[in-house]
Structure 1
């Protein structure tokens, strides 16, 4: 119903949330609706819900020809009553006042049944004029409806929140100008404001909201629904279903095309339906892709809190914190190498680019609250992106510090996301040390800081599913790593977490092919860092022909071609990485290596090893000299004075990117910049050739730009 309308029709007094959202999201107000009969409203309801009704009919009836109109009458899922509440200036039967005993009464309205306590039965509007309808307050002069105050304090009901300004915009106690300025606060309005602030930038299911309230707003649990509804009417909280239709209106006779439902939390298509005890539907859709974070289903309430708009760049009326050029004022303090400084400077200029950011509707003097669109859909915005293409060991973390400082100094909110929990835990102390005065929240599965509010957040990429338009700057580290790489759900979550006018920074040593194509086409701004901070070239892998592991284990011997460089690495005191393809190969290969090197400690680890963290720490400290692992350690681990051996380098499990990442474990220390890298395999593959070509290309670029102290091979 239009707020200024003289009519109100109740489509249903109760239906599954997903169905209600379906009708709301595709509802189109027509002038002739004021003259519609109940039958015409029923037809509209059937048309909007035909897919859901057909599914229910198939599950509840053996007759395939049953009319959907009949199913409307017989389906309890559509509620028990429908009809006019207010029409042609008078209350209808469905909108009747039901008087109780004593001095209390109950009123039925389109907003629900509201207990009013001890009140008189007079019908005086908030404007002072007589009004035909009340629900603890009345219609204003222009017919905009009031909302009942639903929060009770010390047994006393607060003042109603009225809508009586000329623009028909909701304001407190009927006070407000044409732009909807805030007026006198009420208990309900105060509760809504606090709850909206707690939800700002978040996307939570109802169960998650309960956990948030228990930690940050204890005592809100009893009345949170009224406060959420109030915040929703203000445009500060969006209420929708966890799973909803992704159908779209198309021009022509086929004005609507059926599509699979989508999860509005993670964007995945939903094909799973089961009987549901919550809504009563026999085919309630739920999402399996993000099930680990709670069940998102069509009858589950999903709440999204709105955020203030992105912090404007200097060209849009802002300026740097100190009034200095960002490339100079923010780069000096971090001690960056020439290559790091050049790339960070390019990224800072990207962040500082002028960009107009008009408020919705073209207005420029509205309050800071950005309304949330009610017709939500799985599409998300695509904020501008920038790629930092830096070789392994280039110091990507240090390069993003000026970018984080720039965004934080200008009042922005910043997220640094990485695919793996162990990398998050390794980065956390470095980020905290770099920003000692900025509270840091570290989020991962089981994190004790899950509901903390902070402007600087470090998280695994899965945690982004709980945010919506929250961050002015989103930094995605290890863009090409599992599980972020090739997972559309996590890509959707990352873009949804960024404000529409925010910025993306991607970090990678081996960017995916699609991004490399965008770079060549000139569609993706980027900066390359071809050299490590110590100014020495990347170690170029050496190829040796050697039997595969399975054959070595059967023969109980190592080929001389592999044994000779291993003995050299052991004699020079290096920490030795050995990468294999299969977890099952680790125990046998470790035992075989111990028979050749009895004087040093040799261990193996993998993703299934409960002692992995302790072994990696012992390896870093030199207590373990040789560590056999799968690709679980191909990135995020820095060990001084290390050599790398990749056995079965011809395996399909080792693509070009993973070979480059594993090779990048060597030569990272300025005290030992020329570590050894060996590709051991019986065959020479495209991936091995590509990895060596990429490493040589980066070395050549670094030498050309003057970033190397010596040329490769000298």
Structure 2
């Protein structure tokens, strides 16, 4: 997209501005100064990204504007620095233009609704058009740039180039180099590609990392709201119990929730521009969802907005009915790819982490569930999106059974406040994995034979009426082990599934309904599937693909029910690895902590 660059008189000379629709600027300056209003216009129009960069350089240079010839010369020097093509620079001219009322009449009611609808959002122009269509703003849809520019001038919106541009100097020669990063996802470098652009008429970079959400170009306007701070009344620390009692939490859960509430109280009291962070480190099956209810209620009671985000769509769909039941008088919006509520606004939002790219400074509290899960874990793009979504002075609440190592290190160094939840609601210890030694899995597949030790483990599970998760490290191992298990246990229903299985959802339902006794699978089912009476066998637990976090999560499928809290977990390995021993150590440490805190049954 192209934009116009112009200057208006300021306290220290002229101040440069960019415009998506100069008619809105003329209207605005006429309202400010009356008939004497005039602007100094730069021609020709530029790519919006170039206009934004040149404006920044001009305003930083503080060039005096009395001598038009020397000003134009200086402008052309700065235009080279802004990487504007030479033919455009040669055509640059300046002229004084009196402001005239040449735009359409604004529809005041639509203008107000537009600004309200953009609250907390960060959108491309195409997405803005979809929003105005959804909200039925006919006048805005007819002249979108006019309304956007007018709101921008009044300080209701931010309008930024799709890319953030910074200049750095290379060591040791200290030569200047320009770096671009995508404002929506934070990607740069090799993730940016340059092509001829039909929108601005010159070579223009675009971001490939977040293309699935719409293409961000150097010349794309990013339209976002200005964060507002809600009035927040004081809450006494002893009044926090009122946010915990209604939810019927166990003492284990209540202790963690109270620590998190104290954190929020202190975080909001600080009113720091930097968002504060807190981690709830809870064992698998501890009831993390129920533990966040007090924090949600606390923020909502203060007029704030809450986001609960998770990497996986299936978890979002699972959370939706639970949160709606818990907060029946709160507007709950659910967002994922294909969601029908994409443009709805609510006090409580549930979303996949990818959807956060469309938000900016929107939420007082951002709760990130399964922070260690794919695709959020080790994904700078999604971490960047999450960092944009929280308001200044807001807070993050991380939930995880297996926090990534950087978070664990921050906890150890007292840089990240943390509440540990070392016991499940039924107050029984976590099943500690037992190690058995086997040949490499590839050799077992070649032999087409299950070792006797593994057969005995499986038979014990079958004899006690349990269902069995059998985890393997690779997708291509699922089918061979299905065949071996069916041969070895002809009277038992054995199925298998993986991320490539189109019928995975149906097979999980059959497993939940006990139609299947043994399910061979990969880490795709390491979390999110709870079976009341289940055991776990991890074949090739020493495989490089299984880190400690994955092993802990897979182990966590066992012993989740109060009727069967002592399910068994076996690690079948060729040799002990740091991941295997680290997982066992983490589970034992949580059991020791639970025992020390009195969270386990004395029996």
The alignment's TM-score, normalised by the length of structure 2, stands at: 0.89
Correspondences of 1:298-377 after superposition (within 5 Å) = 298-309=218-229, 312=232, 318-320=233-235, 325-353=238-266, 355=268
In structure 2, distance between residues paired with 1:24 and 1:435 = 47
1:508 to 387, 390, 400: 400
Correspondences of 1:452-471 after superposition (within 5 Å) = 452-471=344-363
Whether the 8 Å CA contact 2:362–2:391 is kept in 1: the answer is yes
Residue equivalent to 1:681: 573
Whether the 8 Å CA contact 2:281–2:421 is kept in 1: the answer is yes
| DSSP 3-state at the match of 1:325 | helix
| DSSP 3-state at the match of 1:696 | helix
- Per the TM alignment, residue 311 of structure 1 is displaced from its structure 2 partner at its CA by 5.2
In structure 2, distance between residues paired with 1:309 and 1:404 = 17
1:281 to 199, 202, 207: 202
- Per the TM alignment, residue 307 of structure 1 is displaced from its structure 2 partner at its CA by 2.7
1:667 aligns with 2:559: yes
**Which of structures 1 and 2 has the bigger CA Rg?**
1
1:704 aligns with 2:585: no
Residue equivalent to 1:91: none
2:454 to 559, 562, 567: 562
- Per the TM alignment, residue 705 of structure 1 is displaced from its structure 2 partner at its CA by 0.4
Correspondences of 1:612-651 after superposition (within 5 Å) = 612-651=504-543
Residue equivalent to 1:272: 193
Residue equivalent to 1:61: none
Distance verdict in 2 for CA 1:449–1:546, change over 3 Å? same
- Per the TM alignment, residue 330 of structure 1 is displaced from its structure 2 partner at its CA by 1.0
- Per the TM alignment, residue 286 of structure 1 is displaced from its structure 2 partner at its CA by 0.8
| DSSP 3-state at the match of 2:64 | helix
- Per the TM alignment, residue 507 of structure 1 is displaced from its structure 2 partner at its CA by 0.5
Deviant stretches of 4+, over 4 Å? 2-7, 29-32, 78-81, 354-359
Correspondences of 1:220-231 after superposition (within 5 Å) = 220-231=140-151
Distance verdict in 2 for CA 1:403–1:356, change over 3 Å? closer
| DSSP 3-state at the match of 2:46 | coil
Whether the 8 Å CA contact 1:543–1:678 is kept in 2: the answer is yes
Structure 2 unmatched runs, 5+ = 1-6, 15-38
Whether the 8 Å CA contact 1:590–1:628 is kept in 2: the answer is yes
| DSSP 3-state at the match of 1:28 | helix
1:36 aligns with 2:67: yes
Whether the 8 Å CA contact 1:11–1:41 is kept in 2: the answer is no
In structure 2, distance between residues paired with 1:311 and 1:697 = 43
Q: Which structure carries more strand by proportion?
A: 2
Correspondences of 1:123-522 after superposition (within 5 Å) = 133-136=98-101, 150-151=103-104, 158=105, 187-219=106-138, 220-247=140-167, 257-270=176-189, 271-282=192-203, 284-309=204-229, 312=232, 318-320=233-235, 325-353=238-266, 355=268, 382-522=274-414
| DSSP 3-state at the match of 1:539 | coil
- Per the TM alignment, residue 249 of structure 1 is displaced from its structure 2 partner at its CA by 9.6
Whether the 8 Å CA contact 1:188–1:226 is kept in 2: the answer is no
**Residues 463-495 of structure 1: CA distance to partner in whole angstroms, max 9, x if unpaired?**
100000000000001111111111111111111
**Residues 60-89 of structure 1: CA distance to partner in whole angstroms, max 9, x if unpaired?**
xxxxxxxxxxx2xx23xx59552131xxxx
Correspondences of 1:26-105 after superposition (within 5 Å) = 26-28=57-59, 33-50=64-81, 52-53=83-84, 56=85, 71=86, 74-75=87-88, 82-85=93-96, 95=97
Whether the 8 Å CA contact 1:13–1:79 is kept in 2: the answer is no
The alignment's TM-score, normalised by the length of structure 1, stands at: 0.76
In structure 2, distance between residues paired with 1:358 and 1:632 = 41
1:547 to 428, 439, 446: 439
Distance verdict in 2 for CA 1:226–1:511, change over 3 Å? same
In structure 2, distance between residues paired with 1:588 and 1:463 = 38
Distance verdict in 2 for CA 1:41–1:356, change over 3 Å? farther
Structure 1 unmatched runs, 5+ = 57-70, 86-94, 96-132, 137-147, 152-157, 159-186, 313-317, 360-380
In structure 1, distance between residues paired with 2:516 and 2:306 = 38
- Per the TM alignment, residue 289 of structure 1 is displaced from its structure 2 partner at its CA by 1.1
Residue equivalent to 1:369: none
Query: In terms of mean alpha carbon deviation, does 652-661 or 421-430 score higher?
Result: 421-430
Q: Which structure carries more helix by proportion?
A: 2
Distance verdict in 2 for CA 1:192–1:531, change over 3 Å? same
- Per the TM alignment, residue 674 of structure 1 is displaced from its structure 2 partner at its CA by 0.5
Whether the 8 Å CA contact 1:382–1:495 is kept in 2: the answer is no
Whether the 8 Å CA contact 1:548–1:647 is kept in 2: the answer is no
